[in-house]
Amino acid sequence: MLADILPYLCCPHCSAGLTVSGGSLCCGSGHVFDVARQGYVNLLSGRTPVTGDTAEMVAARDEFLSAGHYAPIVAATVAASSGDGCVLDLGAGTGHYLAAVLDAVPDRVGIALEIAKPALRRAARAHPRLGAVGADTWRRLPVRDGAISLALNVFAPRNATETARVLAPDGRLVVVAPTRTHLREVVTALDLLTVGDDKAARVSASLPGFAASTQDRREFSMSLTHEEVLALVGMGPSAWHLDRAALRVRVSTLPKPVRVTASVTVTTYVKE
């Protein structure tokens, strides 16, 4: 609910605190942000041409994650996210991972920051203690300085400067990133976007001011139907570059079931 996360938010224009006024959030300077009927609020600052994932990509992600295929990744994320205080999910998508983290600690609240409206609609319903907020993670975040105990970054872009600003001095950042063997079978068979051998180094390089404290590698095998493969591909970055009809034809040539390896690192960072 938005009311639960209001103490941690601020106006994206003037950084003042926000209060509820009817069906809107407003600040003392007179900036007003209407709450959508689906329960989320857009706190975008300036002109943001990027719209994020499409409705089809978001639906594919919801279908795939809800089926539990990435349950080991969810479990590793939850294990790295112990503690109390507010949780900020940067590029939260449908709120699937954040909801699992909130389930593990009954009195925690969470902010799902996301730019794609189809994802925000789903995130707003993902958990009763979750508030969905529209924001561009590459710009100044509509979050108060030092207000966040834990930030999540699951298969999403990383804005080190803003993450460091909103994290408490003893706050932690949990980053989930693919390794070079992630989804290798379908990547090869379908000529999808690849993960470089230097992925781990590039993730750390993208987080100046942070130091890795722990890392957990999770690798497991999935047995997928052709429809599940389509959802898997359709929810990721390769979906921007593929023709859906042509992809379906190519997937139809794969064996049944399709054995796919999932491989990620779950790294906890602290501020230096």
Q: What is the mean pLDDT of residues 36-60?
A: 86
pLDDT confidence of 241, banded at 50, 70, 90?
Answer: confident
State yes or no: pLDDT of 48 exceeds 60: no
Q: How many CB atoms lie within 10 A of CB 164?
A: 19
> Which pLDDT score is estimated for 46?
67
State yes or no: pLDDT of 47 exceeds 70: no
* Spatial distance between the Cα atoms of 243 and 241, rounded to a whole number of angstroms: 7
State yes or no: pLDDT of 49 exceeds 70: no
> Which pLDDT score is estimated for 224?
98
* Spatial distance between the Cα atoms of 163 and 159, rounded to a whole number of angstroms: 6
* Spatial distance between the Cα atoms of 139 and 162, rounded to a whole number of angstroms: 8
> Which pLDDT score is estimated for 196?
79
> Which pLDDT score is estimated for 38?
95
- How many structural domains compose the chain? 1
State yes or no: pLDDT of 169 exceeds 90: yes
Mean pLDDT of the chain: 94
272 CB-near residues (< 8 Å, 6+ apart): 209, 210, 211
Contact 79, 142 (CB under 8 A): no
Q: Using a cut of 0.75, tell me whether the model's pTM lies above it.
A: yes
Structure tokens at 67: 């089926």
Q: What is the mean pLDDT of residues 10-27?
A: 94
State yes or no: pLDDT of 88 exceeds 60: yes
- Give the structural domain span for 150: 2-271
> Which pLDDT score is estimated for 50?
63
State yes or no: pLDDT of 21 exceeds 80: yes
Contact 111, 133 (CB under 8 A): yes
CATH code: domain of residue 163:
3.40.50.150
Structure tokens at 92: 């939260």
